[in-house]
Amino acid sequence: MDKLTADDLMTLETYARERADFRTKVLEHKKNRQINLGENATLYFEDRLTMQYQVQEMLRIEKIFEPEGIAEELDAYNPLIPDGSNWKATFMVEFPDEEERREQLKLLRGIEDAVWLQVEGCDKIRAISDEDLEREDDTKTSAVHFMRFELTPEMVEALKGGAKLSAGIDHDRYKAEVDPVPEDTRRSLAADLD
C-alpha cells in the first residue's frame, strides 16, 4: 500500500469544505476494519484512508499548512499504513469508568503481547507491539498500543482464497476469541495484502 505524500492531502480550505463528506466516507470504511475482543478491547486496523483522515484532522486542528509541518505529520502517520505483507492496528483497552480503567491497566500488563490473529490452517500471528516507543512501565500498561501483524506468503494466499480469520487475546487476566472474524472484516483486511 502506497504511503501518503503531501500531494494526497487537501488544503485546509478544501478540507473545511469536504470534511463532513470525507468523515462519513471514512467512518463507513472503518466499520469493517475493527475487531472487538471481548467487552474491553478492540483492534482498529489502519490503512491509507484511515491515515489520510488522521493526518487531515491533525493539520486542521493544529492549523498546519507549512510544508515542514505537513512532512512531520506524514512521517508520524505513514508507518501505520500496511506494507502489503502485514496489518497495522491500533489496539485499545477500553473501560468506560476511569477508576476501573486505572486498576485494570495495572492488572493487564503485557496484554499487548497476548494479542493474536490466525489464518485458518496456519500458526497464530502474534502482535509486534509499540515499535515507536514503550507504552508499558513496571506498574501498568497503556490503554493504547500500536501493533503490526506479519503474514507469510502462505497466509496471504489462504486469505485471498477465502480462508477464515480468527482473533484473540490469551492474557492470564483477559481472554477473548473471535472465531471467525466477520466476513466483511476479513475481506477488508485481505484487500490490504499484496
User: Per residue in 100-139, pLDDT tens?
Assistant: 999 999 999 999 999 999 999 999 999 999 877 667 678 8
Distance (Å, rounded) from C-alpha 21 to C-alpha 179?
Answer: 34
Distance (Å, rounded) from C-alpha 145 to C-alpha 147?
Answer: 6
Distance (Å, rounded) from C-alpha 44 to C-alpha 28?
Answer: 13
Contact between 113 and 126 (Cβ < 8 Å): yes
- Which pTM does this prediction carry? 0.91
For residue 131, give Cα distances in angstroms to 4, 95, 128, 166, 176. Answer: 20, 24, 7, 24, 24
The structural domains of the chain, ordered by start, are 1-31+48-81 (no CATH), 38-45+82-194 (2.60.40)
Residue 74 identity: L
One pLDDT digit (tens) per residue for the chain, 194 residues = 799 999 999 999 999 999 999 999 999 999 999 999 999 999 999 999 999 999 999 999 999 999 999 999 999 999 999 999 999 999 999 999 999 999 999 999 999 999 999 999 999 999 999 877 667 678 899 999 999 999 999 999 999 999 999 999 999 999 999 999 999 999 999 999 98
pLDDT score at 133: 65
Which H or E element spans position 124?
Answer: strand 124-126
pLDDT score at 66: 95
Grid cell at residue 141? 500498561
Distance (Å, rounded) from C-alpha 187 to C-alpha 167?
Answer: 14
